[in-house]
């Protein structure tokens, strides 16, 4: 089985700050990591490959600037077999739709039976790219995977899909795409020997020229991005609040009601 895992390099913080003038992410001084959900998806892929032990492979694909090479080498050090950096000036300015178009084209080049993406990236936070890649590749998909099991005889996966207060058990034939929750698998640590090997391993770069036979320039970058960012802003920090202490239940109800009325909330 060829398992392709899409990983995104993201700033190591849940509190992404924006430059108020340019509306761009402030990345200076913020270290980068592999997105949590993607790492969990990668762990699930490596475990499945090892369980199958039949020549199956795990290929990681990351679209990003040249610095994203580090994320791919970390994935190799965890146990991925091949790594592809999808990078070109033409890809800059891509929104989620154009990103999915480009990553989908890269996946077509690389080959796959199963595609795993994270559910959501901690910086962009849209959870759109996985489902959009599935649409681009015309693949069936299961999102929010918290458990998966491969049924060899049927070439299908049974996926436990998180759904509010319950779970769905979905059987899906390969080829397909699954979006992984962080709960899907606990990522392994890299081994020192594997880190050394990862830095000797080739990270293949797919640029625009490598994909242009299947990628129309009008579908990518600014030209291919239907999203318009009207405004972006950082949420104001929450205040400490007011602690009402030593009140009876009736006094507490009265105090809370008075506050709600004062703020025209009721």
Applying CB under 6 A, the residues found at the interface with ligand FAD are 6-8, 35, 37-38, 61-64, 92-96, 99, 103, 117-118, 120-121, 123-130, 225, 227, 229
Q: How far is the CB of 5 from ligand FAD (least distance, A)?
A: 8
- Residue closer to ligand FAD by CB (options 79, 118) is 118
Q: How far is the CB of 255 from ligand FAD (least distance, A)?
A: 41
- Residue closer to ligand FAD by CB (options 34, 172) is 34
- Rounded-to-integer distance, Cα 91 and Cα 82, Å: 22
Q: Quick one: DSSP state of residue 235?
A: P
- Residue closer to ligand FAD by CB (options 63, 105) is 63
- Residue closer to ligand FAD by CB (options 117, 136) is 117
- The full 3-state SS of 168-190, as one line of letters, equals EEEEEECCEEEEECHHHCCCCCC
Buried b (16+ CB within 10 A) or exposed e, 218-243: ebbbeebbeeeeeeeeeeeeeeeeee
Q: What is the dihedral of CA 61, 62, 63, 64, to 10 degrees?
A: -150
- Residue closer to ligand FAD by CB (options 166, 231) is 231
Q: How far is the CB of 156 from ligand FAD (least distance, A)?
A: 22
Q: How far is the CB of 162 from ligand FAD (least distance, A)?
A: 15
Q: How far is the CB of 99 from ligand FAD (least distance, A)?
A: 3
The pairing of strands 141-151 and 176-180 is: parallel
Q: How far is the CB of 235 from ligand FAD (least distance, A)?
A: 17
The pairing of strands 141-151 and 9-11 is: unpaired
- Residue closer to ligand FAD by CB (options 172, 220) is 220
CA distances from 38 to 44, 53, 243 (A): 10, 22, 40
Give the residues across from 151 on adjacent strands: 156
Phi and psi, residue 12, nearest 5°:
-80, 65
Cβ-closest residue to ligand FAD? 124
């Amino acid at each position: 089985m060829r398992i392709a895992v899409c990983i995104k390099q993201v700033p190591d913080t849940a509190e992404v700050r924006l430059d108020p003038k340019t509306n761009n992410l402030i990345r200076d001084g913020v270290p980068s990591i592999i997105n949590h959900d993607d790492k969990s998806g990668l762990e699930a892929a490596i475990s499945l490959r090892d369980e199958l032990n039949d020549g199956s492979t795990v290929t990681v694909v990351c679209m990003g600037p040249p610095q994203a090479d580090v994320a791919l080498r970390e994935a190799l050090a965890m146990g991925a077999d091949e790594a592809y950096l999808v990078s070109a000036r033409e890809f800059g300015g891509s929104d989620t739709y154009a990103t999915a178009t480009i990553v989908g084209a890269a996946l077509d080049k690389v080959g796959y039976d199963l595609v795993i993406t994270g559910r959501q990236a901690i910086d962009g936070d849209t959870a759109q790219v996985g489902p959009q890649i599935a649409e681009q590749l015309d693949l069936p998909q299961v999102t929010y995977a918290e458990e998966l099991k491969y049924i060899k005889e049927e070439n299908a996966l049974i996926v436990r899909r998180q759904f509010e207060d319950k779970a769905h058990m979905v059987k899906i034939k390969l080829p397909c795409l699954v979006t992984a929750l962080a709960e899907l698998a606990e990522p392994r640590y890299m081994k020192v020997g594997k880190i050394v090997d990862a830095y000797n391993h080739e990270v293949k770069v797919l640029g625009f020229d490598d994909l242009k036979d299947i990628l129309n320039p009008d579908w990518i970058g600014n030209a291919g991005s239907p999203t318009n960012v009207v405004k972006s802003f950082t949420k104001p920090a929450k205040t400490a609040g007011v602690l009402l202490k030593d009140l009876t239940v009736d006094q507490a109800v009265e105090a809370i009601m008075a506050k709600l009325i004062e703020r025209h909330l009721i």
